[in-house]
Structure 1
Amino acid sequence: MRWSQTLIPTMKEVPSDAEVPSHQLMLRAGLIRQLMAGAYTYLPLGYRSIRKAADIIRQEMDKAGAVELFMPALQPIDLFERTGRKEAFGNVLINFPIRRREHELHMALGPTHEEVVTDLMSKLINSYRQLPITVYQIQTKFRNEERPRFGVLRTSEFLMKDAYSFGTSVEQLDESYQKMYDAYCRIYARCGLEYIPVEAESGPIGGDASHEFMIPAENGEDSIVRCESCGYAANLERADTGRKQPELAGKSSTTEVATVETPGMGSIEAVAEFLKIETSQMIKTLIFLADEKPVGVLLRGDHEANEGKIRRALNVTELEMADEETIKNVTGAPVGFAGPTSLKCAFIVDHDVAAIVDGVTGANEVDKHLTGVNPGRDFEVQETFDLRDAENGDPCPRCEGTLSFVHGIEVGHVFKLGTKYSSALEAEYLDEKEKRHPLIMGCYGIGVNRIIAGLAETCHDENGLIWPMTVAPYEVELIPLNVKDDDVMKHANSIYEGLLAAGVDVLMDDREARPGFKFKDADLVGIPLRVVVGGKGLKDGIAEVKWRKGGDAERIPLADVTNHVAELVREEKNRM
């Protein structure tokens, strides 16, 4: 492609409304333009990269045995009502009524396709002999993002590869899951991404395995907890700590429990400041509804509850914070004054609480707290659990190392669905004994746009983008220094035609512009290999070949340039 015949509207200045590098660079390099908040047009360079990423995804999905189909974005709302996700999605689900003749139909724009694919399989799968099967598509999804930002990292319309596996057993699900996990690793490696597979919280319907694939990035919105010693990684919702059940340190304390007046002080911080103690000396008592039954959760005052861990410790399906009336019923006081010493419900205790000596906690009376409270002496502790969010410096659950945090951008998620959707939508199969069972499902998603944005966020320098060869809009940029010079253009055109014939994606900057202007644009758009024809090199019968990622330029005889560059491209693509 010749630059003059395509559309590459580069920008010299950083757009004032672009917050992160990926947004700034994708605008400046002419990859995207915004239509409205949360909706972007992909210009030729951006769309070429999107298509190349999608091609890699297709190749690896096919290699893993998945079969491609294409489902409607427009979906009937009753599917979401049958699975309960109309309410679960809330305002995120874009849905609306339409009229067809005398009828009114209620539709939704698909935020994902679990309902549609399960409904499809309920009509097509009858026997265990048809299973297992994994299907996938690359399709536009729609979600009413409340705060679209960071360019194409958070939008209301985005391109996603979603795959769904169906089987007869947990063993078939495990096998499908592993195939998708391995395929994802190959996809991200081929796209040139640094990625971290992290254990993720599946929720009550997710089975026993769920992984997110994260790109480490300073501006990533997700927190990744990891151990550099052994490679353990998990998102904050799922991250375990290696803390063990400690001895009850306060059992031998001689300090007596005392009641102190704390008027209007219902927060940990307010009480700690009033009593001149650290928040770590406080015992925080939270009241949850676990499968609709009240239960207390005891944490150190400076720690945050992790609902996934609490749900697993209690072995319940539903967990939510209790309402004010429930809290008053089990504590005898309003919110902010709960404590374990006279609680009218069961409670569980985090590991760190057991180590507190002479702690402070709510008195289960309005405007009152207790001091000198010791676990094991003043309230019973038979077992402790990991119930809080992981923190920097916590012990690793897998080795002797410690945990640390890094920010990340999520680009994919694989998880086990079980039978939630198949049961709701009556997607069943007949076994060998002609008995009906719900299909066992897995779900596997990749944000195609996020692959490109993630690369832009992490693969750049002060001058612009630095594309990996496999997803670069073009593999080679050819720059004739003076397009008015017939000799320059004769050699440039010969190299251009030769590279095209060799199957190389080449962009020739045939604009009438100064060399410095062209070089700045070349750095900005970030094509991996640059070939420069003209100037002193032409007099010496050579062209300069240089990698965008750095290093010295090679001086290659003009007659050898085509073969040399084509071989460099092949080697780089094979390396990935």
Structure 2
Amino acid sequence: MRLSRSFLPTLKETPAEAQIASHRLMLRAGLVRQTASGIYAWLPAGLRVLRNIERIVREEQNRIGAQEVLMPTLQSADLWKRSGRYDAYGPEMLRIRDRHERDLLYGPTNEEMITDLFGQSVKSYRELPQMLYHVQWKFRDEVRPRFGVMRGREFLMKDAYSFDADYEGAVNSYRRMMLAYLRTFQRLGVRAVPMVADTGPIGGDLSHEFLILAPTGESGVFYDAALEEQDWLAQPVDTQSTESLKGFFDNVTSWYAATDEKHDASAWEDVPQERRREGRGIEVGHIFYFGTKYTQAMDISVTGQDGAQVYPEMGSYGIGVSRLTGAIIEASHDENGIIWPAEVAPFRAVIINLKPGDALCDALCDALYEVAPDDLLYDDRSDRAGAKFADADLMGHPLQLIVGPKGAVSGVVEVKCRATGARYEMTPDEAIALITRG
């Protein structure tokens, strides 16, 4: 994309309404614009980031055998009345009545709808387990939306739902999803710590929140550094083996991790001093086992192995896709702007032409750009160099490929790494190889 022809409206000044770093930088870098309270339009660069996060989330869901569906944003109120949640949910739910006086709602979540869809098709334990997910917009009418996409009213979410014939199967699905989440966050370039969360009246310990570590996080976090040292992508876990999944899960949950609300000082003392870490975290995911809560309330059963009807055991698993955009920025920025992890950045690199109109500079920039014109941003504007560097840092491109008259004459490209600030001189072929590797 050539910057001179693009819709990337950066701002020099910080908007007055932006209270936290991610909100300020998303507005200044031209990623989003507010259209109503707590509702945002995603501009081209922001949408590219959102799509990259979606892609990684999908790939890791598919990797554990989850199947993607797409459920509508509008749901029939009758489904929620069957589960008993329609009146209990509260004013966060946006209730709608169509021209035929039928009650609808803009879905804040999808347990009822997925349970109904499941019940229409699955009739026997032989068809279990099933794990279904989708990536869809949700709406919750927050009393006080704030902090940009971190706490908006409309948000993009990945929600998944598992159906199993018995408790053991449900636990396996839960453990499988925990592995998928840890892999997902590692690929997104952020540190996410799983914390035991409340399970409500169901009880047990099968509920975990995932908190990205960031200085501006809403919760205090205490955790064992051993959690940081794991390479979840390389973990040799057989996701079809109960024993392998149990070993993985027991290993993860053996390390201390807690928020300040649930901090156990005596247990903290058992963590070796050199491995104790403290910080703050932003919740970006939640996995939850709730048994037969919805299948029983909605009378959705299957034929069991003994011929009797049984209610499938369920779990739900959410990731805030749009919230992750803000959380990643909170965890990865400096005074100059965003520092995108490579896999989620809107562009692989920005090419900065320091002298547009110079034949050698233009030729070298064009040669670099033609390698991957859909994945590179080419700053071909006639602006002064300082403005180009400032925008490049603000937008957070992982690499800056800088081409000036002296370098063009000698066949050299200067490469700056945004994360470290390190600069290198490369030949055009070396720079092209770097772009190709992504």
CA distance in 2, matches of 1:108, 1:400: 47
Q: 1:565 to 1:404 in 2, by over 3 A?
A: closer
Tell me the CA shift for residue 240 of structure 1: 6.2
Map of 1:250 onto structure 2: none
The one-letter code of the counterpart of 1:412 is: G
Q: Rg bigger for which structure? A: 1
How high is the TM-score relative to the length of structure 2? 0.89
Tell me the CA shift for residue 499 of structure 1: 3.8
Aligned with residue 361 of structure 2, among 484, 488, 493: 488
Tell me the CA shift for residue 225 of structure 1: 4.5
Tell me the CA shift for residue 443 of structure 1: 0.5
Native 8 Å contact 1:531 1:546 kept in 2: yes
Native 8 Å contact 1:131 1:168 kept in 2: yes
Native 8 Å contact 1:143 1:157 kept in 2: yes
Native 8 Å contact 1:32 1:46 kept in 2: yes
Tell me the CA shift for residue 531 of structure 1: 0.4
Map of 2:189 onto structure 1: 192
Alignment pair present for 1:64 and 2:88: no
CA distance in 2, matches of 1:560, 1:106: 61
Native 8 Å contact 1:227 1:396 kept in 2: no
Tell me the CA shift for residue 538 of structure 1: 1.7
Alignment pair present for 1:452 and 2:322: no
Aligned with residue 399 of structure 1, among 270, 275, 279: 270
Map of 1:110 onto structure 2: 107
CA distance in 2, matches of 1:469, 1:240: 34
Map of 2:3 onto structure 1: 3
Map of 2:411 onto structure 1: 541
Native 8 Å contact 2:8 2:45 kept in 1: yes
CA distance in 1, matches of 2:32, 2:225: 36
Native 8 Å contact 1:206 1:415 kept in 2: no
Tell me the CA shift for residue 397 of structure 1: 6.5
The one-letter code of the counterpart of 1:531 is: L
CA distance in 1, matches of 2:71, 2:47: 22
Alignment: residue pair count: 409
Alignment pair present for 1:87 and 2:111: no
Tell me the CA shift for residue 553 of structure 1: 1.4
Tell me the CA shift for residue 111 of structure 1: 0.2
Tell me the CA shift for residue 401 of structure 1: 6.1
Q: 1:552 to 1:401 in 2, by over 3 A?
A: closer
Q: 1:436 to 1:397 in 2, by over 3 A?
A: farther
Tell me the CA shift for residue 439 of structure 1: 1.0
Alignment pair present for 1:144 and 2:141: yes
Once the two structures are superposed, what CA deviation does each residue of 1:25-69 show, in whole Å capped at 9, x if it has no partner? 010111010011110011111100000010001111001000000
Structure 1: gaps of 5 or more residues: 242-393, 570-576
Alignment pair present for 1:210 and 2:207: yes
Once the two structures are superposed, what CA deviation does each residue of 1:480-517 show, in whole Å capped at 9, x if it has no partner? 111121221111101111244xxx82110111111111
Structure 2: gaps of 5 or more residues: 227-253
Question: Per the alignment, in what secondary structure is the counterpart of residue 266 of structure 2?
Answer: coil
Question: Per the alignment, in what secondary structure is the counterpart of residue 102 of structure 2?
Answer: strand
Question: Per the alignment, in what secondary structure is the counterpart of residue 186 of structure 1?
Answer: helix
Tell me the CA shift for residue 559 of structure 1: 4.2
Map of 1:557 onto structure 2: 427
Native 8 Å contact 1:137 1:162 kept in 2: yes
Q: 1:484 to 1:163 in 2, by over 3 A?
A: same
Native 8 Å contact 2:83 2:298 kept in 1: yes
Q: 1:510 to 1:539 in 2, by over 3 A?
A: same
Matching of residues 342-357 of structure 1 within 5 Å: none
Map of 1:262 onto structure 2: none
Native 8 Å contact 1:544 1:555 kept in 2: yes
CA distance in 1, matches of 2:381, 2:104: 49
CA distance in 1, matches of 2:410, 2:423: 15
Q: Which moved more, 1:190-199 or 1:228-237?
A: 228-237
Aligned with residue 183 of structure 1, among 176, 180, 188: 180
CA distance in 2, matches of 1:208, 1:226: 18
Native 8 Å contact 2:135 2:158 kept in 1: yes
Tell me the CA shift for residue 236 of structure 1: 5.1
Tell me the CA shift for residue 566 of structure 1: 2.3
CA distance in 1, matches of 2:283, 2:360: 50
Map of 1:20 onto structure 2: 20
Native 8 Å contact 1:198 1:224 kept in 2: no
Question: Per the alignment, in what secondary structure is the counterpart of residue 498 of structure 1?
Answer: coil
Map of 2:232 onto structure 1: none
Tell me the CA shift for residue 537 of structure 1: 1.4
Native 8 Å contact 1:11 1:27 kept in 2: yes
The one-letter code of the counterpart of 1:144 is: D
Question: Per the alignment, in what secondary structure is the counterpart of residue 33 of structure 1?
Answer: strand
Question: Per the alignment, in what secondary structure is the counterpart of residue 197 of structure 1?
Answer: strand
Question: Per the alignment, in what secondary structure is the counterpart of residue 436 of structure 2?
Answer: helix
CA distance in 1, matches of 2:63, 2:103: 38
Map of 2:391 onto structure 1: 521
Map of 2:218 onto structure 1: 221
Matching of residues 247-258 of structure 1 within 5 Å: none
Q: What fraction of aligned residue pairs are identical, expressed as a percent? A: 43
Native 8 Å contact 2:360 2:405 kept in 1: no
CA distance in 1, matches of 2:389, 2:263: 49
Matching of residues 248-327 of structure 1 within 5 Å: none
Native 8 Å contact 2:348 2:435 kept in 1: no
The one-letter code of the counterpart of 2:178 is: Y
Native 8 Å contact 1:395 1:401 kept in 2: no
Q: Name the one with the larger helix percent.
A: 2
Question: Per the alignment, in what secondary structure is the counterpart of residue 198 of structure 2?
Answer: coil
Map of 2:292 onto structure 1: 419
Alignment pair present for 1:430 and 2:300: no
Q: 1:240 to 1:429 in 2, by over 3 A?
A: farther
Map of 1:99 onto structure 2: 99
Native 8 Å contact 1:207 1:418 kept in 2: no
Tell me the CA shift for residue 175 of structure 1: 0.8
The one-letter code of the counterpart of 1:548 is: R
How high is the TM-score relative to the length of structure 1? 0.68
Q: 1:397 to 1:527 in 2, by over 3 A?
A: closer
Alignment pair present for 1:530 and 2:400: yes
Question: Per the alignment, in what secondary structure is the counterpart of residue 554 of structure 1?
Answer: strand
Tell me the CA shift for residue 406 of structure 1: 3.7
CA distance in 2, matches of 1:541, 1:86: 67
CA distance in 2, matches of 1:150, 1:401: 36
Aligned with residue 133 of structure 1, among 115, 130, 133: 130
Native 8 Å contact 1:206 1:417 kept in 2: no
Tell me the CA shift for residue 217 of structure 1: 2.2
Map of 1:233 onto structure 2: 257
Q: Which moved more, 1:144-153 or 1:209-218?
A: 209-218
Aligned with residue 118 of structure 2, among 102, 107, 121: 121
Native 8 Å contact 2:349 2:399 kept in 1: yes
Map of 2:156 onto structure 1: 159
Tell me the CA shift for residue 546 of structure 1: 1.3
